[in-house]
Chains A and B, each alone.
Chain A
Amino acid sequence: MEAAVRPERILKDLRGLWVDLGKDEPAGVLRACAMTLVVVVEEERDAAAIGETIASFIHEHPSRAIVLRVRAGDESALSARVFAQCWMPFGSRQQICCEQVEIISSVASFADATSVLRGLVVPDLPVVVYCPSEALWPTPEFLDLLPLCSKVIVDSHAMERAPSALSYLQSLSRTAGFRKADLMWARITPWREAIAQIFEDPARMRCAFDLEEIQILYRSDLGEPSSVYYLAGWFMSVLGAGVKIRIAPGVGPEYAGIAHVTITGPKIKATVDLTTSDTVDVSVNGEHLQMTVFPPATETDALRQELAIANRDTRFEDALGLGQLMYQGGQP
């Protein structure tokens, strides 16, 4: 008979893990935890990749990481294991470790798994739920998890009909106590920074208030990426509904699905043009202003950025609302 998977059992295993780790290391180990991070994925998703993603940012966001893998099927079995992610900081003699729990459930036992999760959150610390698997978003079990969490993060990067992620996020209760995020918004931060940079100059800043048209060119094999609607929503939230926004397919390299942005007003025409997969050239009125290298737009980097945002992100909320309106019915 399989062992029962219960929170107290997993917590006991975690306690045992720390005792063992302490025995193995002469200097002991340092347990680090600043949040509970729950990652909910379909089992098809590469287990090693998820592990690597967590390992690569865990030292920046030390957490009790709970990976819930949901596999297809109607078996009622549930399994769990605990282990630690440890690293030795440069110049230190003591390892720092974070605990990790992996729970495998089937679609049929998904509800059982979420009931286990409730007992595993670290008290008094934020609970962040990250779910990159679109198929799980509408399930009652996943929605049942949300009241537990302070922040829910999705990723619309690899979705077909990616902009529908905006509708999904908007549909999550506004009154709930958790904050919402899409890694695609984090991925377009370098675009937004490059655009904001243009208007740091006082003369150009004055032009920002009477811009007339924004053109966003995207490039994606999956149709319009959600990033264009986030960017469009952001422009609208900053400039008001009067500005005309055009979204069109483009050519050349893309970064977070976007290839090129043109900003036009009576006295300014600024272009932010991706020249390689991570290099943008910023020009104003035909004159080169700056070359910028964008950081990698990987899931890990976007998660790292998103986990650092502990407060409400009103810019995102505004962009989400307006971007979704635009996606649904054209420009509001």
Chain B
Amino acid sequence: MANPFQDPLRFERRVPPCAIVIFGANGDLTKRKLIPALYRLAYERRLPPGFAIIGNSRTGMSDDSFRDKMKEALQEFLEDTPFDERLWTDFCQNLFYFAGDLHDPDTYTQLAARLEEVRVARHTDDNVLFYLSTQPSHYEAAIHGIGYAKLQRGRGWRRIVVEKPFGHDLATARALNAKLQDVFEEQQIYRIDHYLGKETVQNVLAFRFGNGIFEPLWNRRYISQIQITAAESIGVEGRGGYYQEAGALRDMIQNHLLQVMSTIAMEPPAVFEPDVVRDERAKVLRSIRIIKPEDAPMYSVAGQYGPARIGNEDVPGFRQEQGVDPNAQTDTYSAVTFYIDNWRWADVPIYIRSGKHLPKRVTDIAIFFNPAPHSPFQGLEAGVVPTSPNMLILRIQPDEGISLRFLSKHPGEGMRLRNVSMDFNYGASFGARSPSAYETLLVDVMLGDATLYTRQDMVDASWAAVQPILDYRERHPVNFPNYPAGSWGPQESDEMLARNGHAWRIP
């Protein structure tokens, strides 16, 4: 039975009544992302009247203190949206808090009681979303506790959102999954990868499968290489302690960028339904060529930034950052050549790089097309035909958009050709504010739409793809630092592409 008053053309999708339990409610993610996204949804009138947020952490706090804290966070981290005191007054009535140690069974007994209270008081229909926003080391305790108190089942739906990292490697990812599946069914588990919630990543699907002209070219016959770049211009910004345990390969490539790659390389789904889309993504990830650990130097490069002067500022090297081991072997830069062994992509190198303290902040995907099989302009005049291929660039951030580079005749005499760019700029065509990735993904999980969430087989496959590189690096320390902050990474990275006759483009 559907609500007869709904108007999908003009109304936003409506989420059902529910309660969100945030474990780690005193943490950074809650303050910077979750509460601003939920407030923004309230501002857009997208939250149901029957709605509650129950925060948990170990810090003792009353509901009112929690509300005050969240108000402060909102005022600090809310972007693109004014803080409305009246809306806050109503919104904060939905916020509740209880202190409890995740390792203490009593915490979950208390939680069950709070859930029952809000079900009655806030009409949440016993629909509950658990959000693991804690340190990953507490995941297991929280999952176990939910199972202990049998909170994974109720009269309404029960779902759990798990933040990355999903494990530290393949083995720990599988162990975490086993714990999750001891308590929850797979369809209740939502593994969040906020990159998939980005509008521009979703637009890749629209671009590929909504248009008829690109897909026939989208294969090894016409495409010579793909480059995916996720560059940050900043360093670890006080998160050195955390980051030195992760590194670029684990923090960016294994999850975000392999998900982006799967979006670029997947086959067209028959229908836009969660499992159909995820099946296609999973197939791509499972088709990634698994290299032998000893071949890792051929296919990957690790880098770590050293001190440098950028502009008029001295920038410390990674090992000089606060909380970082002076001998850390952390990769603040990683570049990997992947191959997808299927008919569509056989032998097409897909280069992925991600790093900190690179010259600019940019995330994009460049598709390089083969040159024309024969150019009638060759030899007309020396140097008139540039050698650069046609290129399609999908810009994820900033300046979100799509550019197609092709050759055009230079005005004037003779057949002199020059590269020109045809640009689509997201901001120019759709000036409206795009929802943040967290807004999109929170609405999706409350609606039970898992299209933009990752599945365990996808997580396994992406860990399996990088595991040989991790194994090799574990046994072969690198002489870090090997690139100065503010450069495009170590020279070995250029050499990796040069072996295939390719070069990194400068985004």
* Residue contacts A-B, CB under 8 angstroms, 30 given: A32-B428, A34-B429, A57-B431, A58-B431, A59-B431, A61-B431, A89-B427, A91-B398, A92-B399, A92-B427, A96-B427, A96-B428, A190-B45, A192-B5, A193-B45, A196-B7, A197-B49, A200-B14, A200-B49, A201-B17, A201-B123, A201-B125, A202-B1, A208-B4, A208-B5, A289-B49, A291-B86, A293-B84, A311-B9, A315-B7
Please list the 3 inter-chain residue pairs (A to B) with the smallest Cβ-Cβ separation, ordered nearest first.
A59-B431, A196-B5, A60-B431
- Distance A190 CA – B11 CA, assembled complex (angstroms): 9
Residues in A neighbouring B1, C-beta threshold 8 A: 202, 205-206
Chain A interfacial positions (CB closer than 8 Å to B): 30, 32, 34, 57-62, 89, 91-92, 96, 186, 189-190, 192-202, 205-206, 208-209, 238-239, 279, 282, 289-293, 305, 308-309, 311, 313, 315
Contact A96:B425 (CB < 8 A) given known A193-B45, A305-B10: yes
Q: Bound state CA distance, A279 and B430, in angstroms?
A: 29
Chain B residues near A315 (CB, 8 Å)? 7, 9-10
B7 touches A192 (CB 8 A): yes
State which of A30, A60, A239 has its C-beta within 8 Å of the C-beta of B432: A60
Q: Which residue of A lies closest to B6 (CB)?
A: A196
Task: Collect the chain A residues with CB atoms within 8 Å of residue B431's CB.
Answer: 57-62
Residues of A with C-beta under 8 A to B7: 189, 192, 196, 315
Name the residue of chain A whose CB is nearest to the CB of B427: A89
Task: Flag if B11 contacts A196 (CB, 8 Å).
Answer: yes
- Is B90 among interface residues, defined by CB-CB distance under 8 A? yes
With A193-B11, A293-B86 in contact, is A30–B4 under 8 Å at CB?
no
Q: A96-B425, A209-B4 are in contact. Are A290 and B10 (CB under 8 A)?
A: no
Q: Which of B55-103 contact A (CB under 8 A)?
A: 84, 86-87, 89-90
Q: Does B16 contact A (CB under 8 A)?
A: yes
Given contacts A32-B429, A197-B48, A289-B49, 15 further A-B contacts (CB under 8 A): A60-B431, A62-B431, A189-B10, A189-B11, A193-B45, A196-B6, A197-B14, A197-B45, A201-B48, A201-B123, A202-B125, A238-B5, A239-B4, A290-B90, A315-B9
Chain B nearest CB, measured from A184 CB (Å): 14
B residues in contact with A91, CB < 8 Å: 398-399
> Counting CB contacts under 8 A, is B423 at the interface?
yes
Instruction: Report the minimum CB–CB distance from B242 to chain A (whole Å).
Output: 28
The verdict on B50 contacting chain A, using a C-beta distance below 8 Å, is yes
Chain A facing B: main interface SS: mixed
A309 touches B49 (CB 8 A): no
Query: Which residue from chain B places its CB closest to the CB of A281 in the assembled complex?
Result: B90
A contact residues around B5 at 8 Å (CB): 192, 195-196, 199, 208, 238
Closest to A92 in B: B399
Whether A282 contacts B49 by the Cβ 8 Å rule is yes
Is B3's beta carbon under 8 Å from chain A? yes
Within the complex, what minimum Cβ distance (angstroms) separates B127 from chain A? 11
Proximity bits, B395-436, A CB within 8 Å = 1, else 0: 000110000000000000000000000010101111110000
Assembled-state Cα–Cα distance A32/B401 (Å) = 13
Which residues of B are interface residues toward A (Cβ below 8 A)?
A: 1, 3-7, 9-11, 14, 16-17, 43, 45, 48-50, 84, 86-87, 89-90, 123, 125, 398-399, 423, 425, 427-432
How far does the alpha carbon of A201 sit from the alpha carbon of B119 in the complex, in Å? 13
Q: Contact between A200 and B16 (Cβ–Cβ < 8 Å)?
A: yes
Q: Which residues of A contact B399 (CB under 8 A)?
A: 91-92
Report the Cα distance A292→B5, complex, angstroms: 18
In the complex, how many angstroms separate the beta carbon of B405 from the nearest chain A beta carbon?
A: 16
Chain B: CB-nearest residue to A310? B9
B399 nearest CB neighbor, chain A only: A92
Q: How far is A32 from B90 in the complex, measured between Cα atoms in Å?
A: 40
Least distance between A182 CB and chain B CB atoms (Å): 14
Report Cα–Cα, A199/B1, bound state, in Å.
11
Q: Which residue on chain B has the smallest CB distance to residue A96? A: B428
A162 vs B125: C-alpha distance in the bound complex, in angstroms?
Answer: 43
Chain B residues contacting A32 (CB-CB under 8 Å) are 425, 428-429
> Residue A291 contacts which of B48, B90, B423, B429 (CB distance < 8 angstroms)?
B90
The residues of B that contact A194 with a CB separation of less than 8 Å are 45
Docked pose: A313 CA to B90 CA in angstroms: 33
Residues of B within 8 A of A189 (CB): 7, 10-11
CA of A53 to CA of B388 in the docked complex: distance in angstroms? 45
Residues on B with C-beta less than 8 A from A209 are 4
Asked whether, in the complex, the Cβ of B86 is within 8 Å of the Cβ of A200, the reply is no
The residue from A199, A202, A308, A313 contacting B4, defined by CB atoms under 8 A apart: A199
Assess whether A62 is in contact with B3, with CB atoms less than 8 Å apart: no
Once bound together, how far apart are the Cα atoms of A59 and B428, in whole Å? Answer: 6
- A200, B429: Cβ atoms under 8 Å? no
Pairwise interchain contact B3-A208, C-beta atoms closer than 8 A:
yes
Nearest CB in chain B: distance from A22 CB, A: 14
Q: Roughly how many angstroms separate A279 CA and B428 CA in the complex, as a whole number?
A: 33
Asked if A292 and B125 make an inter-chain contact with CB atoms under 8 angstroms apart, the answer reads no
A279 near B86 with CB under 8 A, answer yes
Smallest Cβ-Cβ distance to B16: which chain A residue: A200
Q: Determine how close the nearest CB of chain A comes to the CB of B204; give it in whole angstroms.
A: 21
Say yes or no: B11 contacts A200, CB within 8 Å: no
A197 and B14 alpha carbons, distance in the complex (Å)? 8
* Minimal beta-carbon separation of A320 from chain B (angstroms): 14
B residues in contact with A206, CB < 8 Å: 1
B233 to chain A, nearest CB (A): 13
B361 to chain A, nearest CB (A): 10
Contacts of A282 in B (CB 8 A): 49
CB-nearest residue of chain B to A238? B4
What residues of chain B lie closer than 8 Å to A34, measured between beta carbons?
429
Q: Which residues of chain A have C-beta atoms less than 8 A from B430's C-beta?
A: 60
**Is A199 in contact with B428, judged by CB distance below 8 angstroms?**
no
A291 to B42, CA, bound (A): 10
Q: Which residue of A lies closest to B12 (CB)?
A: A193
Q: Are B14 and A309 in contact (CB under 8 A)?
A: no
Q: Which of A57, A205, A290 contacts B49 (CB 8 A)?
A: A290
B5 → chain A closest CB, angstroms: 4
B181 to chain A, nearest CB (A): 29
Residues in chain B near residue A208, CB distance under 8 A: 3-5
Residues of A within 8 A of B84 (CB): 293
**Cβ distance A216 to chain B, nearest Cβ, rounded Å:** 15
Question: Which residues in A have their C-beta under 8 angstroms from that of B16?
Answer: 200
B48 touches A62 (CB 8 A): no
